[in-house]
Structure 1
Amino acid sequence: MSDKPTVPGAGTGAAEAVAVIGLACRLPGAPTPEKFWRLLTDGQSAITETPAERWNSAADAHPGGFLDHVDRFDPAFFGISPAEAIAMDPQQRLILELSWEAVEDAGILPASLAGARAGVFMGAIASDYAALLHQQGERTITRHTLTGLNRGIIANRVSYTFDLAGPSLTVDAAQASSLVAVHLACESLRKGESALALAGGVNLNITPESTITAARFGGLSPDGRSYTFDARANGYVRGEGGGVVVLKPLARALADGDDIYCVINGGAVNNDGATDALTIPSPAAQEAVVRLAVERSGVDAAELQYVELHGTGTKVGDPIEAAALGAALGAARPPGRPLLVGSAKTNVGHLEGASGIVGLLKVILSIRHRQIPPSLNFETPNPEIRFDEINLRVQQALAPWPRPDRTLVAGVSSFGVGGTNCHLVLAEKPVSDRPAANGDGAPGKGAAPGTTAVAGPPVIPWVISAKSEAGLRAQAAALREAVSARPEMGPADVGFSLATTRTSFTHRAVLLGGDREDLLAGLAALGSGKVATGLVSGVARD
């Protein structure tokens, strides 16, 4: 008999579980969740030197995790004028793109959400673009500047674009912002305030001044590496990007037949209060937030198999976080079965206001793929951390979960420099006898593990659309890359999802093929603007 509960987190006193049904990310070296997972499993670092186009002064350059082309945006896709787009903080623009991708990944037509009681909760703390424009003087101020630079609009812009009627707020809890945003989204769903929620965070490093500020604070690693829990720990490396998840109450997601990545069983937020200094963490407060999150999740503390650390790799922060986690979770475990820990900051850098969503995405993907990727730059244990005594171990290689026969349960921590602490407890989706929905193999996800591709007819149509001819070619190229990387995606599954879970725009194409190879060949032709058998394209009439 399996010991997996029917609904994780449904024990006495547990918070109602929330399902993760869609996600999207844009991270250094990883513009999609699939590529982020590949980066993690390959044990790669995306830290590079500062791109020359960011700022001119080599003296202000520091290694970090950077995105390509943060200046590029298609305003017409979202009904935004070029003049307004120029005035918009690129963080607003990136969150719009990620929200659209996450909603589509959830198998939801964005237009179907119009008027819905859907909430938007986004974490953000950076104001680099505002600083950049203000340096140019009042000649850059237009009628779009107020909304373009206001951080609150990062969330509000999503609500406006999708016509969402639920709560809409940008959260600033320093580096804990994006995980706190996810926690607030879960609480809004549990209270019935929202029926669906988009949550996440964004952080872009556009000016040298923000990096100089972090360096003079003393937080940056002079080596350009984050040595989380290692003896060489000497600071963090800045990163940028963003991520968004789509959340729904678990009971509703099960009833709707959604493809569930995992569930969030519970969470908690607190603050350090008065410590020796404003920026010195409190081990007692960190221990308390983990204990409360676990208690609210309804899961026994000994059942957690992995925790994604805040893990900045600082001399002060690492020993405090380790001691708190050991007291809250390590002590609950039998000797010889240590709690595994790691940090994605060693791969992509510290995304500051968006760092929590990065850790959350790492755990979601680890549960989805039933593997735990390595934490990088760990060679010699920090002598201030007594790993054996507190029953912790840094994950150093890609490996299955230590107890795959039991429900996979993990925690995610994120802490702010001003003392705000957040911890969430996640678990794999509940065991269910419900058959997979026809569209389970959506292009953004592929068939869920353990499911079988839907059998298809002799000729299968794949429909693709965009708002421009260039966009149509780009969609074809992206779809070809996604399907080529996922051989388990059945042609009929992909066709069903394209037809039922994607918005129909005016520039359209239909690919007809008898098998996977025919359809991939058609995508290659469409992506390069060539003619091919079984390919029909054109512009739809109003």
Structure 2
Amino acid sequence: QAGDPQEATAIYNAFYGDSTLPEKSIKEPLYVGSIKTLIGHTEGVAGLAGVIKASLCVQKGIIPSNMLLERINPVIAPLTSRLRIPTEPLSWPSLAPGVPRRVSVNSFGFGGSNAHAIIESYSPTKLTLEHFLCPRLLPFTFSACTAKTLIEVLECYDQFLQEHPAVDLITLAESLLKRRSAFSHRVFITAASIEALQFEIKIELEKRRSAAVPSIMYRPSHAPKRVLGI
């Protein structure tokens, strides 16, 4: 048999059933409720409304009241010393630093399908100055109309980096990606420092000077399709 009394009893026994056990010596109250008092049983999607409600609870830090609740089931009444059934909105209890808000959503669906989900609040990581200063890989794209001119482009940037060792890599990567024309022959390099970028460019130049290293060839999609190679 399923129903609110059975669920309430199971919750009570799980958290408060035997106070002699260390893991069950919980003194704080546990707030319980249901959205069925407002919308009834949603049958095939039972629990979905509860997930939405739980998500809003942890986002707003508010425990909503059980609206339209007139009286508590006599079987559940003895359990309310620990299981609190709010009749008005409550602010979320204070938590220790780093402890998220949590809501447990339990659903007994029509036809015997059961589901359980634990919803936690999300706290974005606070980024420090050191986070932005730490080395990270950046993408550098170089392009030219032909394979030969692509070598010349790489040589120019190699010379530029030697003359400007304090260049801002983030600005350079953005400029190459967003503010330069994209030609048909391209090469892509990742680096986290000026020295690493220079090293990768020199390796790419050695490859292209010593052998025919194919670059990425791009043909615009609007170009006419070739038929029999013509």
Interval containing the TM-score (normalised by the shorter chain): 0.3 to 0.5
- TM-score (ref. length: structure 1): 0.21
Instruction: Choose 1 or 2 for highest CA Rg.
Output: 2
- TM-score (ref. length: structure 2): 0.46
Q: Which has the higher contact order (CA 8 A, sep 6+)?
A: 1
